[in-house]
Amino acid sequence: NAGVTQTPKFQVLKTGQSMTLQCAQDMNHEYMSWYRQDPGMGLRLIHYSVGAGITDQGEVPNGYNVSRSTTEDFPLRLLSAAPSQTSVYFCASSYRGEGNYGYTFGSGTRLTVV
Amino acid sequence: AQSVSQHNHHVILSEAASLELGCNYSYGGTVNLFWYVQYPGQHLQLLLKYFSGDPLVKGIKGFEAEFIKSKFSFNLRKPSVQWSDTAEYFCAVRDNNDMRFGAGTRLTVKP
């Protein structure tokens, strides 16, 4: 029972590089989302998806792309990394339901952009 | 979309002291309310949740929270904290499709 799996756990990028953060869940959850966590700002929603083929923007979508080709996977792409994207990134999933489900979180990816 | 305010940035308590962490959300309607805990170096874990019924909700590890609709509040309480409760606590509101988090309250419990 893996839950939500994020890879990599740590990454250092140079400004301007691109990369993809991977997220996979094995619980058949319809809903998946990406958050970034910064000190004193809590978690801010980047993008979310309510099912395969459907994605939408959250609070801070600029500089990030997502796609949802399968129920299990929800990768987050950084198109051209900037130092402002240094953060800890969490993927989360849940049943879609009527909102009364908590999220299951992945263990996070700590990204540093130099 | 909702916004969530947590009033305390950092709380320092001695063991056995009582805890209350404040949380307010921005507007009414049907919302689902959560408290999460993040221990150092770990991901967020669900402490408790409210979506209907009894406004006093009990969670894991002796935590409870009270939903007061008229005040748009969902405060977290624990009668007697332990050193192992040292962590960061996040209040969250789920409104339709997305969940919004407060900035978090760091709790330090001194032995």
Q: A40-77 pLDDT, tens per residue?
A: 888 999 999 999 999 999 989 999 999 999 999 999 99
Look at residue B41 in the predicted model and tell me its pLDDT. Answer: 85
Instruction: Dump pLDDT digits (tens) for B38-63.
Output: 998 888 899 999 988 899 999 999 99
Query: For the residues A31-42, what does the mean pLDDT come to?
Result: 91
Which helix (H) or strand (E) is B66 found in, with range?
Answer: strand B64-68
What local confidence, expressed as pLDDT, does residue A71 receive? 96
Is the CB of residue A82 less than 8 Å from the CB of residue A14? Answer: no
| Distance (Å, whole) CA A50 – CA A48 | 7
pLDDT reported for residue A100:
58
A42/B103 Cβ within 8 A: yes
Query: Could you give the CA distance from residue A6 to residue A106 in angstroms, rounded to a whole number?
Result: 6
Cα dihedral B29, A71, A36, B8, rounded to 10, equals 40
Contact present, B36 and B65 (Cβ < 8 Å) = no
Residue A19 carries which side chain, given as an amino acid letter? M
* Residue B93, min C-alpha distance to chain A (Å): 10
Residue B26 has a CB neighbour count (10 Å cut-off) of 14
- The answer to whether residue B82 scores a pLDDT higher than 70 is yes
Does the beta carbon of B43 lie under 8 angstroms from any beta carbon of chain A?
yes
Name residue A105's beta-bridge partners. Answer: A92
Task: Answer whether B14 touches A (CB < 8 Å).
Answer: no
Instruction: Note the pLDDT of residue B43.
Output: 86
Question: How high is the pLDDT of residue A1?
Answer: 61
Residues in B closer than 8 angstroms to A48, CB to CB, are 97-98
Per-residue model confidence (pLDDT) at position B94: 84
CA–CA dist A91, B57 (Å, integer) = 26
| Cα nearest neighbour of A92 on chain B | B44
B97 pLDDT band, cuts 50/70/90, is low
Task: Name the residue among A65, A17, A19, A15 with its Cα closest to residue A7.
Answer: A19
CB pairs under 8 A between A and B: 60
Q: Which of B6, B9, B34 is opposite residue A102, by nearest beta carbon?
A: B34
- Average pLDDT taken over every residue of chain B: 91
Radius of gyration of chain B (CA): 13
pLDDT-derived band at A12 (thresholds 50, 70, 90) equals very high
Contact B55, B73 (CB under 8 A): no
